[in-house]
Chains A and B, each alone.
Chain A
Amino acid sequence: MNMHRFANPGRFVRLAERILPWTGGLAVLALGIGLYLSLFVSPADYQQGESVRIMYVHVPAAWMALFVYTVIAAASASALIWRHPLADLVARASAPVGAGFTFLALATGSLWGKPMWGTWWVWDARLTSVLVLFFLYLGHMALSNAFDDQSRGNRAAAVLALVGFINVPIIKFSVDWWSTLHQPASVVRLDGPSIHPSMLWPLLIMALGFKLYYVSLLLLRVKGEVMAARLRARSMAALDAT
């Protein structure tokens, strides 16, 4: 498929408008079912008690924090290599959402850590590398807005996103490489998930809800960026006319 087929902003906006109600509706549905299952149906953990329910928000948020950064890096690469006009917008629109997911993962982890580990924060490899990710998101947002020329900001932020991508595998494997307080992966494993289905299903539905929420927000934000660009062009044309 020719990837420049969707490079036409007008065609993208029309497509986005058609998809958006579906992803938005499904996101609400998945989050509703997921929250009900995780808060009321799934059992309390024999060790962690009721606070295990924080995990149903924490784990999907952390997955999304990595996923959104990967999307930004891929979009940045295609923006720099192929000058794909929508890739810049995707990276720009994703950064605040990813920062939000990262903050949510850090905050919920901290809330869970206080009763479980007895501390809000420990400087172990997983927590530190996610904190670095959060600052990479903030740096990306600051850099892309730091220039009078928006396209220069986009390209500079794209280079930064690619350099910062080194951090993503470090986060993923930090729990295996170092003996951290943070527990290693229990869902995505070669020998199958090590958590019970009664907890796995709510988690997976929540993760699906988070992903659909991100897709909806991304479509909405990219559409907004396209509209903003049109408004700018129109007001420039109006200025020229006078």
Chain B
Amino acid sequence: MSAFADVVARDLRLALRQRGDAVMVVLFFVLTAMLFPFAVGPEPNLLARLAAGVIWVTALLAVLLSLERLFLADFEDGSLELLVLAPTPLSLTVLAKVLAHWLTTGLPLIAAAPLIALLYNMDEAALPVLMLAMLLGTPSLSLTGAVGAALTLGARRGGVLVPLLVLPLYIPVLIFGVAAIDAALAGLSARPYLLFLGAIFLVSSVVAPLASAAALRQAVE
């Protein structure tokens, strides 16, 4: 277990030393969300209707942008080979790296989401559901993204390939994430959608580390 904590601490330390990366993700999130009022017009009711969808789609794209740094630096400087050879199960190492990734991208995104909800004039009553849905949904984004990032290590055009692999797998999170907020806005129970998000999180937290570990082994072979 200490190896798990060590990997998390190492990745967090690396992320803190290069603070720019995490800040960029949040900046991208806020900036992209700011574009929509210009594109569809600043009508408050329309924006309130769009808020949930815009927050989720931009959060999804922001996570997508950050996936590259999950394994690429380790792959290039060779430390990935040491992580693969280490006695700790590789899937556990992957889980630690994904946790660090989520702490430096998912968590800041969740913190920034109320700001966008505010700018979009979203009903404040739905804010707790928005936060809860993102808390349950963004870890799945990091987990699923890890599979895509690991599979494309060393590929030609890796950057364009990741969205093609990962975005289709992100659709369920998007559907249930938005549905939870819409239900809360309509005064219905958001519970079934939140349960779905939780189920997706549980399934991906089992499948994704195994698949990523298999992909990483192929990458360093």
Q: Could you say which residues of chain A place their CB within 8 Å of the CB of B169?
A: 163-164
* Count: A-B pairs, CB below 8 Å: 62
| Shortest distance between the CB of A99 and any CB in chain B (Å) | 13
A128 within 8 A of B: yes
Chain B, Cβ-Cβ closest to A145: B156
Dominant SS among interface residues on chain A = helix
Q: Which of A143, A152, A162 contacts B165, CB < 8 Å?
A: A143
Task: Give Cα distance in the complex from A41 to B142, angstroms.
Answer: 54
Do B164 and A159 touch (CB < 8 A)? no
Task: Give Cα distance in the complex from A128 to B156, angstroms.
Answer: 29
- Report how many residues on chain B are interfacial, defined by Cβ distance under 8 Å: 25
Q: When A152-B218, A159-B211, A163-B147 are in contact, do A146 and B152 touch as well, CB less than 8 Å? A: yes
Q: Which of B161, B171, B214, B218 contacts A142, CB < 8 Å?
A: B161
Task: Give Cα distance in the complex from A156 to B158, angstroms.
Answer: 13
Task: Give Cα distance in the complex from A162 to B221, angstroms.
Answer: 20
Q: When A135-B167, A139-B164, A164-B169 are in contact, do A159 and B155 touch as well, CB less than 8 Å? A: no
Q: When A135-B168, A139-B168 are in contact, do A147 and B154 touch as well, CB less than 8 Å? A: yes
Fill in one digit per residue for B158-190: 1 if any A CB lies within 8 Å of its CB, else 0: 100100110111010001000000000000000
Q: When A135-B167, A146-B152, A147-B154 are in contact, do A159 and B214 touch as well, CB less than 8 Å? A: yes
A191 within 8 A of B: no
Task: Give Cα distance in the complex from A155 to B167, angstroms.
Answer: 21
Chain A, Cβ-Cβ closest to B158: A146
Enumerate A103-151 residues with CB–CB distance to B below 8 Å: 128, 132, 135-136, 138-139, 142-143, 146-148
Do A146 and B155 touch (CB < 8 A)? yes
A200 within 8 A of B: no
Chain B, Cβ-Cβ closest to A133: B168
Do B151 and A156 touch (CB < 8 A)? yes
Task: Give Cα distance in the complex from A80 to B155, angstroms.
Answer: 19
Given contacts A143-B152, A143-B155, A143-B161, list 5 more A-B pairs with CB under 8 A: A128-B171, A136-B168, A139-B161, A152-B154, A156-B151
B residues at A contact (CB < 8 Å): 147, 151-152, 154-158, 161, 164-165, 167-169, 171, 175, 203, 207-208, 211, 214-215, 218-219, 221
